[in-house]
Structure 1
Amino acid sequence: MSSIKKLAGQTMWYGVSSIAARFINYLLTPYLTFKFSVAQYGEMSIVYAFIPFMNIVFTYGLETAFFRYSNTTDKNKVYNTTSVSLLISTLLFGFGMYLFQGPIARLLRIEEHVEYITLSIGIIALDALSTMAFAKLRLDGRPRKFALIKVAGILINVASVYFFLSVCPDIKAKNPDGFIGSFFDPEWAVGYSLLANLIQSAITLLLLSKEWLSFKWKFDTVLWKQMMRYSLPLIIVGFGGMINETLDRIMLNWWAPGGTEEATKEATGIYSACYKLAILISLSIQAFRMGAEPFFFKQAADGNAAKTYARVMKFFVITICFMFLGVALYLDIWKHFIRKPEMWVGLKVVPILLLANMFLGIYYNLSIWYKLTNKTMVGATITLIGAAITIIVNYLFIPHFSYMACAWATFLCYGTMMVLSFTWGQKAYPIPYAWKKLIAYIVIVVLLYLLHAAFTWIGLNNWFNHIFGTFLLFAFGWFILLVERKEFRQLPFIGKYLR
């Protein structure tokens, strides 16, 4: 249990940073949906769907390879080699993107704003250079500094966005011939959002300067080749993951019904805003991944590693079940974070996306088997199957069902990846997951949501709906305490009340 406590403690810090950062950033959703038109919000979403793809290319799986080889090789040698490799490749990839920024803008259907791609190159390059410094903090077990820098970066981003979109227009209105008034363009709102992100990435790298500059120009070619053989399949995993996570917004911009570019961008904006309401599940997944990846590799040598992984999975599934109910049962409250009521038409995708992200979180838990056994090509294969489902379902159904096709494609993709990873992994690296019980928990929360939806359909006052939702949430909590009483007794804080 001590190892799980350590993971929980580190995950709490990564969670604090992720939750605080994402929640602060999430508060931008009502602000940006108010400041931007629906089409502008869609345009911004398209750019931010493209950036993660290039993040995968720029980092090419080195982060996971760093954790993998730091446990078997001198970690300073590993850090030096990965840092040198990443610095050189970032310069090369960044220059290559700059040469082709025009075609990229046309591909994304934002050819009238090629400068968005220029700003994106800066963001991607700076984030790539920060990757190994953040990884070093995680490996060294320094989640507090990790958390503080992450939160500071988001606060800088929010402050910059507010300055560009609220302060600058007021200054221009009062003094149009002044310094700010002379260059500020109110129509360039999406550009200012990207510029704020670029400022955030630059200051984040500056705050990480101690870690980033601690590498030495020593490059081990033999070690690098070993790491590349391990990490290159992870590019496929990461790239396929981005296809599954963000390509739907780009495809929606291409094929959404409506016939006009304005209509497709509006559909993209609605879907992207509603997708943000699945944030709680996404937060728990991100926080868990930050703490779990180095933890799982360190735990691998322990004789009880498989049992530890199974227990971690159980706690994780219980947590995300509560988060599913916390969003799904109070969706009529969460929707007010989207300031434009015309976007609420897309709320029906939220429960589907919540379930899809639950599947994704479980998949990340399951994926440890192929990382531990060096079978990263298996992970690439599973991810490519998921990517194929995403592309095929979206291609066939977006022209008919718009963003609903995107939501169901995400659900089918992550569900399939979860099942494949479980069945494949149990043959190669058996882990005693309590899978029947965990499936039952997921089914129960879905049934509770459907029961609440049926109650809401009756048409009573919202207060009755909220009271009934709260009753269902507490009922599930009581049920979990009864079933898992023995497990929870061993936990700190909670355990003493159950003995």
Structure 2
Amino acid sequence: MSDIKKLAGQTVWYGVPTIISRFLGYLMNMALPFLFIQPSKTADITQVYAIIPFLNILFTYGLETAYFRFSQEKEKHHLYNTLSVSLFLSTLVFTGLLFLSRHSIAEAASLAEHPEYLTWMCGIIFFDTLATLPFARLRQENRPRRYAFVRMSGIVVNLTIVLLFLGFLPGYVHRNPDSPLKIITNLNIGIGYYLIGNLLGSISTFLLLFRELKDLKWEFDGTLWKEVMKYSYPLIIVGLGGMINDMLSRLVYQHVVDLPPEQAKHELGIFANVYRLAVMITIMIQAFRMAAEPFFFNQSKQDGAQKSYARVMKFFVIACCFMFLLIGLYLDVLKWVITLKSKAWGEGMYIVPILAMGNIFLGIYYNLSIWYKLTGKNLYGAYITIGGAILTIVLNILLIPKFHYLGAAIATFTCYLVMMVSSYLLGQRFYPIPYARKKLLSYITLVALIVMGHRLVTYLYSPLWFSVLTGTIFLLAFTAFVGRIEQKDLVRIPYIGKWVTKLNGKS
């Protein structure tokens, strides 16, 4: 279990900045219903943040994963220098092209009224890309505390800007109409401060990585670079396909739904908001990936690696099941919070459990994907992702016009389910891992039934206090059930083990 403890500890450290970043971002997004009564006002920023992940994939072109892969067999500093030089030069070129194309992109993405959003986006992509390899180096060298500090510092800057310009200044100027700060509020940047805060946070993060950047030597090994690119180019396809699966519904929603433009923006704003309610599972996935990718590569040469991967999968699925229950069982609380100012923001809440379960499938797929990264069969990962992307495109085009948000949620759920099953079947063929398949399927099925049962109970009797009470009872029952089933492994984990022993001792 020592390998699991190590991974869990690193997941916490990598997860802390990820969790806080997502949580603070979630709080900022949760503030949107209090800052903007109409959901349509947030549609443009949703479009920008649907574009950024695609650009992140193109700009980094798989070098992060390739660095983990080749650092196992190549001289690390030489590898780091070669990849950093490549990334620096390509980032300059790509950012220049992006900046020159920003007006065309604005027209295509229905952002013609705010071309400045694309300019700020260029800056965000530039600095985030240059920080990619320094962050990967921190992860590869097992320096999670340094990683957490730098990440958190950028988050603090981002949050400060947003709170200052959207939270504090408008109220201050309203109370002091003669204040010179009125000039700032007259700029009418509005929700654009989310992007400005993001840009300044990215710049701060880049500057704080100076220690990792100053060690860079300007050397480039063309032979090594070609070897790395042969490995990494399928990961570009994997990444782009993954972004299509994740972001396409929000990117195309207002273009395929058969509604007047303003109503389409209204629904997009609502859909983006309810999509964020699945953020806890996404947080879990991202925190896990930060620690797991270098862990998997480092473990690959050890005896019994496959058994370690199977144990990791088990605990990962259990953690995701708890996240799913926290979302599904307390959905009424989330709805109550976001509708305090406007009831319109509560529309579409019924699709949240569907999206959350789809994200569990996505997390399992990421866990399963280690087989093609370890065996060098990245093209199989590309094929799976391309298949998922095609399925996503077809289902969104067919279902969104007819079912609106529900159609988009079904498309997400179906795509990730198919990708998960495909990766499992291929993985067991090329790199067999003894996953506890029946047990994991039972856990996932059980939490789905629990949430459906809770929704049925609260449909029959709907006071908020009753929803919270019954949800808590269901959550505690599942906790006790897992504690009993997994007692043998859980008692060996610090802190958790003592609690499990006491719980089962009393029962």
Q: Structures share a fold, TM > 0.5?
A: yes
Residue 285 of structure 1 is matched in structure 2 by 285
Separation in 1, partners of 2:434, 2:186: 59
3-state SS, counterpart of residue 343 of structure 1: helix
Q: Aligned partner of 2:454: which letter?
A: H
Separation in 2, partners of 1:327, 1:236: 31
Separation in 2, partners of 1:150, 1:474: 34
Residue 250 of structure 1 is matched in structure 2 by 251
Residue 420 of structure 2 is matched in structure 1 by 418
Residue 195 of structure 1 is matched in structure 2 by 196
Matched-pair contact (CA < 8 Å) for 2:12–2:287: yes
Residue 115 of structure 2 is matched in structure 1 by 114
Identify unmatched segments of 5+ residues in structure 1.
none
After TM superposition, give the deviation of residue 143 of structure 1 in Å.
0.7
Q: Aligned partner of 1:405: which letter?
A: G
Residue 407 of structure 2 is matched in structure 1 by 405
Residue 217 of structure 1 is matched in structure 2 by 218
Residue 471 of structure 2 is matched in structure 1 by 469
| Counterpart mapping for 1:351-390 below 5 A | 351-390=353-392
3-state SS, counterpart of residue 147 of structure 2: helix
After TM superposition, give the deviation of residue 489 of structure 1 in Å.
2.3
Residue 309 of structure 2 is matched in structure 1 by 309
Task: Kindly indicate whether residue 493 of structure 2 is the aligned counterpart of residue 491 of structure 1.
Answer: yes
Residue 263 of structure 1 is matched in structure 2 by 263
Matched-pair contact (CA < 8 Å) for 1:277–1:335: no
Task: Kindly indicate whether residue 241 of structure 2 is the aligned counterpart of residue 234 of structure 1.
Answer: no
Separation in 2, partners of 1:227, 1:117: 31
Residue 132 of structure 2 is matched in structure 1 by 131
Matched-pair contact (CA < 8 Å) for 2:33–2:345: no
After TM superposition, give the deviation of residue 495 of structure 1 in Å.
2.4
Residue 345 of structure 1 is matched in structure 2 by 347
Task: Kindly indicate whether residue 42 of structure 2 is the aligned counterpart of residue 38 of structure 1.
Answer: no
Separation in 1, partners of 2:335, 2:41: 20
Q: Over residues 429-473 of structure 1, what are the superposed CA-to-partner deviations in whole Å (9 max), with x where a residue is unaligned?
A: 000001111001100111111111111111253222222211111
Separation in 2, partners of 1:457, 1:178: 52
In structure 2, do the counterparts of structure 1 residues 458 and 177 end up closer, same or farther at CA, with 3 Å as the change threshold? closer
Matched-pair contact (CA < 8 Å) for 1:273–1:338: no
In structure 2, do the counterparts of structure 1 residues 167 and 475 end up closer, same or farther at CA, with 3 Å as the change threshold? closer
Matched-pair contact (CA < 8 Å) for 1:257–1:402: no
Separation in 2, partners of 1:287, 1:122: 25
3-state SS, counterpart of residue 427 of structure 1: helix
Separation in 2, partners of 1:197, 1:5: 34
Q: Percent sequence identity over matched residues?
A: 48
Q: Aligned partner of 1:139: which letter?
A: Q
3-state SS, counterpart of residue 491 of structure 1: coil
After TM superposition, give the deviation of residue 106 of structure 1 in Å.
1.0
Separation in 1, partners of 2:175, 2:464: 44
After TM superposition, give the deviation of residue 179 of structure 1 in Å.
5.4
| Counterpart mapping for 1:22-61 below 5 A | 22-36=22-36, 37-61=38-62
After TM superposition, give the deviation of residue 258 of structure 1 in Å.
1.8
Instruction: Normalising by structure 1, report the TM-score.
Output: 0.97
Residue 16 of structure 1 is matched in structure 2 by 16
Separation in 2, partners of 1:312, 1:306: 10
Q: Over residues 248-275 of structure 1, what are the superposed CA-to-partner deviations in whole Å (9 max), with x where a residue is unaligned?
A: 101102122322x221111111011111
Q: Over residues 327-355 of structure 1, what are the superposed CA-to-partner deviations in whole Å (9 max), with x where a residue is unaligned?
A: 10010112244253212111011000110
After TM superposition, give the deviation of residue 171 of structure 1 in Å.
5.5
Q: Aligned partner of 2:85: which letter?
A: V
Q: Over residues 28-72 of structure 1, what are the superposed CA-to-partner deviations in whole Å (9 max), with x where a residue is unaligned?
A: 123223223311211111111111110111101000000000111
3-state SS, counterpart of residue 433 of structure 2: coil
Matched-pair contact (CA < 8 Å) for 2:332–2:467: no
3-state SS, counterpart of residue 112 of structure 1: coil
Separation in 2, partners of 1:173, 1:491: 54
Residue 63 of structure 2 is matched in structure 1 by 62
In structure 2, do the counterparts of structure 1 residues 179 and 94 end up closer, same or farther at CA, with 3 Å as the change threshold? farther
Q: Aligned partner of 1:357: which letter?
A: N
Matched-pair contact (CA < 8 Å) for 2:321–2:443: yes
Separation in 1, partners of 2:184, 2:422: 54
Q: Aligned partner of 1:67: which letter?
A: F
3-state SS, counterpart of residue 218 of structure 1: coil
Separation in 2, partners of 1:336, 1:454: 18
Q: Over residues 381-430 of structure 1, what are the superposed CA-to-partner deviations in whole Å (9 max), with x where a residue is unaligned?
A: 10111111111000112112112111111100111100000000000000
Separation in 1, partners of 2:499, 2:242: 41
Matched-pair contact (CA < 8 Å) for 1:176–1:182: no
2:448 pairs, out of 438, 446, 449, with 446
Matched-pair contact (CA < 8 Å) for 2:333–2:464: no
Matched-pair contact (CA < 8 Å) for 1:132–1:212: no
3-state SS, counterpart of residue 217 of structure 2: coil
Q: Aligned partner of 1:407: which letter?
A: A
Separation in 1, partners of 2:490, 2:433: 21
Separation in 2, partners of 1:43, 1:111: 10
Matched-pair contact (CA < 8 Å) for 1:58–1:93: yes
Q: Over residues 71-117 of structure 1, what are the superposed CA-to-partner deviations in whole Å (9 max), with x where a residue is unaligned?
A: 11011011101111110000000000111111100111111211111
Q: Aligned partner of 2:247: which letter?
A: T
Q: Aligned partner of 1:95: which letter?
A: G
Q: Aligned partner of 1:255: which letter?
A: V
3-state SS, counterpart of residue 303 of structure 2: coil
How many correspondences in the alignment? 498
In structure 2, do the counterparts of structure 1 residues 267 and 498 end up closer, same or farther at CA, with 3 Å as the change threshold? closer
Matched-pair contact (CA < 8 Å) for 1:55–1:124: yes
Matched-pair contact (CA < 8 Å) for 2:62–2:236: yes
Farther-moved stretch of structure 1 (107-116 vs 84-93): 107-116
Matched-pair contact (CA < 8 Å) for 1:248–1:406: yes
Q: Over residues 292-333 of structure 1, what are the superposed CA-to-partner deviations in whole Å (9 max), with x where a residue is unaligned?
A: 000000000011000000000000001110111111001011
Q: Aligned partner of 1:70: which letter?
A: S
Matched-pair contact (CA < 8 Å) for 1:33–1:41: no
Task: Kindly indicate whether residue 206 of structure 2 is the aligned counterpart of residue 205 of structure 1.
Answer: yes
Q: Aligned partner of 1:192: which letter?
A: Y
> Any runs of at least 4 consecutive aligned residues in structure 1 with deviations exceeding 6 A, and if so which?
174-178
Matched-pair contact (CA < 8 Å) for 1:39–1:266: yes
Matched-pair contact (CA < 8 Å) for 1:244–1:386: yes
Residue 427 of structure 1 is matched in structure 2 by 429
3-state SS, counterpart of residue 238 of structure 1: helix
Separation in 1, partners of 2:187, 2:417: 43
Residue 158 of structure 1 is matched in structure 2 by 159
Residue 272 of structure 2 is matched in structure 1 by 272
In structure 2, do the counterparts of structure 1 residues 403 and 374 end up closer, same or farther at CA, with 3 Å as the change threshold? same
In structure 2, do the counterparts of structure 1 residues 461 and 428 end up closer, same or farther at CA, with 3 Å as the change threshold? same
In structure 2, do the counterparts of structure 1 residues 336 and 210 end up closer, same or farther at CA, with 3 Å as the change threshold? farther
Identify unmatched segments of 5+ residues in structure 2.
502-507
Matched-pair contact (CA < 8 Å) for 1:171–1:181: no
